[in-house]
Amino acid sequence: MTAPASPAKVRGETILAVDDLVKHFPITRGVLLQRQVGAVRAVDGVSFALHRGETLGIVGESGCGKSTLARLLMRLETPTSGRATLEGRDLLSASGGELRRLRRNMQMVMQDPYTSLNPRMTVGDIIGEPFDIHPDAAPKGSKRGRVQELLDVVGLNPEHVNRYPHQFSGGQRQRIGIARALALRPEVIVCDEPVSALDVSIQAQVINLLEQLQDEFGLSYVFIAHDLSVVRHISDRVAVMYLGRIVEIGTEEEIYERATHPYTQALLSAVPVPDPDARDDAGIIRLTGDVPSPADPPSGCHFRTRCWKAEDICAREDPPTVPRPADPHPSACHFAALRDPPGGV
């Protein structure tokens, strides 16, 4: 079997490594004596490597654990178990000065440009705030000058440094969020659905800006979205999440052309095709049933309650995310197989 042609960065040096990361939120009962009666398994054993200069797309339906994963990486949540390293340094146990150094090197762009910016701060103060938190990274000369440079880098007018967030459009506000994330010159940026709240016409502009900045500053991205079509253009590799786990991960080509997991195939079949002649309704897989609660996921394969290929073994044995005979990229399905072409035999 020959390895798929993939860009050099897909095989490059690992900058961020995540190994079996778990976050269970306890469910408690009782007013005075709180007892734990269960747990929401928001992130349930996630492993991946992000390579230098690469974009890893992470896709999955709402509630599958994407934001919790992002918050764990940013150390905004404490993991239940697992390991993560940034440039070989332990990200999860770091404290004090070591944690501050690691934080400088990994920044986040949030989903909602309307709520993630403080409405009472000027744009200049918002973008310059990271320099107050990390004075060692503050510019030697004028902070205002650096902030204006950052505004220029993200395509905003540097003269608007004294304006407030409400004076900008949604797309412009997301550019402000990106400028803030860039201020400390990080190497990794975790983007949590950065375009989901924007009009479709603006989404492409923000994605183009992120790509341009990646080339200019050699950034590595974890790019989260709930839709496979959004991440296709920007991602070198894509991971598909379902109920707290990565069920399939591969290069752009492996996921979009040769998916072997039924869940990925269902998501792909629902991706709108812009050319009406290329549409084939017969190829659409309609998933039935709701996503089960992460407080009570199904035994064995988490996807089995919605899978049309499920057999007895799927309830008994949890399929690991490993290379499969149908294709060498990792897929968490006992019956991983390429999909027949729509309308094919």
Ligand X SMILES: Nc1ncnc2c1ncn2[C@@H]1O[C@H](COP(=O)(O)OP(=O)(O)O)[C@@H](O)[C@H]1O
How far apart are CB 315 and ligand SF4 at their closest, in Å? 8
Q: Give CA separation, 39 vs 12, 64, 70, 88, 320, in Å.
A: 37, 14, 19, 31, 22
Distance CA 285, CA 18 (A): 32
How far apart are CB 64 and ligand SF4 at their closest, in Å? 15
DSSP for 217-232, written as a single string: HT-EEEEEES-HHHHH
Contact map string, positions 285 to 324, toward ligand SF4, x by CB under 6 A? ----------------x-xx--x-xx---x----x-----
Among residue numbers 255 through 274, which ones bind ligand SF4 (CB under 6 A)?
262
Q: Give CA separation, 113 vs 119, 167, 177, in Å.
A: 11, 13, 7
How far apart are CB 318 and ligand SF4 at their closest, in Å? 9
Distance CA 52, CA 45 (A): 23
Bridge partners of 266, per DSSP, are none
Angle at 204 between CA 12 and CA 122, to 5 degrees: 95
Which of the choices ligand X, Mg ion, ligand SF4, none does residue 42 contact, using the CB cut-off of 5 to 8 A by kind?
Answer: ligand X
DSSP state of 272: P
How far apart are CB 215 and ligand X at their closest, in Å? 28
Contact map string, positions 270 to 309, toward ligand X, x by CB under 6 A? ------------------------x---------------
Other CB atoms within 10 Å distance of the CB of residue 69: 29
Contact map string, positions 29 to 68, toward ligand X, x by CB under 6 A? -----------x-x-----------------x-xxxxxxx
Stretch that binds ligand SF4, among 38-46, 110-118, 286-294, 332-340 (CB under 6 A): 332-340
Among residue numbers 57 through 96, which ones bind Mg ion (CB under 5 A)?
66-67
Q: Binding to ligand SF4 by residue 335, rule CB under 6 A?
A: yes
Task: With beta carbons less than 8 A apart as the criterion, state whether 84 and 47 touch.
Answer: no
User: Which one, 67 or 321, has the nearer CB to ligand X?
Assistant: 67
Distance CA 266, CA 340 (A): 13
How far apart are CB 192 and ligand X at their closest, in Å? 7
- Interface residues toward ligand SF4, by CB under 6 A: 262, 301, 303-304, 307, 309-310, 314, 319, 333-335
